[in-house]
Amino acid sequence: MNHFISFRDVEDKEALLEQALSFARDPWQSEDAGRHKTLGMLFFNPSLRTRLSTQQAAYQLGMKVIGLNADQGWKMEFEEGVVMNADRAEHVKEAAAVMSQMVDLIAIRSFPGLTDRDKDYREEVMTGFCKYSRVPILNLESSTLHPLQSFADIMTMEQHRSQDRKNTKVVLTWAPHIRALPQAVANSFSQWTLGYGYDLVITHPEGYELDEAFTPGARIEYDQDKAMEGADFVYAKNWSAYRDYGKILSQDPSWMITSKKMDLTSQGKFMHCLPTRRNLEIADEVLDGPDSLVLKQARNRIFAAQAVLFGLL
């Protein structure tokens, strides 16, 4: 791997998964792998669990870590050839090239604005850094993707599936929320689940269709109850509309995941990337129930990041 921005950067998906599962069993097995290496973490947006899990993963590889908060106004220019006489104080050409001389890996978090779809889906921060950095770039959640989350989700399903992947039914279901959230987790979960060969059904109210670039081969089902039938894994997540970009089209409470809905599945396991709004997205009974995998997913964030860092070193 040169960079880790999306599933497409993964060269050998089975080897990467095996590596992550191996770190889950023995976290300190490669504690000299990152000797004399420093991970720079650049946050254009706040982060708690991604920061914790990625930093812990780096420590388990013997790396040093430097965290940089750029969320209070390091405005960067991404266009070529412009006269920089407005509020953007530095061009990505310098920013990326300079940082990449000082650290050995650069991890970046940069959320979408959710107002200009073309701009968000162009992924100018990740694209710009990949172009001008001399060291690998690691995506800690970008405008449209959250690959370290999705890889941890894949690990978790691998640890809990009872049949081969193509006969394992995974349901990605939209759930209600009061805020307009990015499509990144949903896009990325679709891309990874399909990439690893699972049977994916996506269910949401009409209008919430995701960018088809991330969902080739998934079935769309607008009836949530019907989608749940026979599911082995139910992954709930809110997202705002892709078509009518960034909009909240529905807050229909009947889409909340309850035990009654989980009863429609084939003893399905419940998943969510967290944080979640209890009793708005998901009922307490599901989150606190025996079929909830949410804490296991969170723990796997460490080992997913560790395997990716190991691969990039």
DSSP secondary structure of 196-242: TT-EEEEE--TT-PPPGGG-TTPEEES-HHHHHTT-SEEEEE----T
Separation between Cα atoms, residue 259 and residue 262, nearest integer Å? 5
Report if residue 252 touches its own copies, rule: CB under 8 A: no
Q: Distance between CA atoms of 290 and 279, rounded to whole angstroms?
A: 17
Residue 125 lies near its own copies (rule: CB under 8 A): no
Question: For residue 270, which phi and psi values (nearest 5 degrees)?
Answer: -105, 135
- Which part of the chain contacts its own copies (CB under 8 A), choosing from 2-10, 149-157, 203-211, 277-285? 277-285
DSSP 282: B
Using CB under 8 A, which of 2, 12, 66, 212 touches its own copies? 66
Q: Shortest Cβ distance from residue 301 to its own copies (Å)?
A: 8
Q: Cα–Cα distances in Å, from 59 out to 98, 139, 305, 306?
A: 24, 18, 11, 9
Using the rule CB under 8 A, is 49 a contact of its own copies? yes
Using CB under 8 A as the binding rule, whether residue 15 contacts its own copies is answered as no
Q: Does 294 bind its own copies (CB under 8 A)?
A: yes
Among 11, 12, 18, 94, interactor with its own copies by CB under 8 A: 94
Residue 84 touching its own copies (CB under 8 A): yes
**How far is C-alpha 278 from the chain's CA centre?**
21
Residues that bind its own copies (CB under 8 A): 28, 36, 38, 40, 46, 48-49, 51-53, 55-56, 59, 64, 66, 68-70, 72-74, 77, 81-85, 89-91, 93-95, 97-99, 101-103, 178, 274-280, 284, 287-288, 294-295, 298-299, 301-302
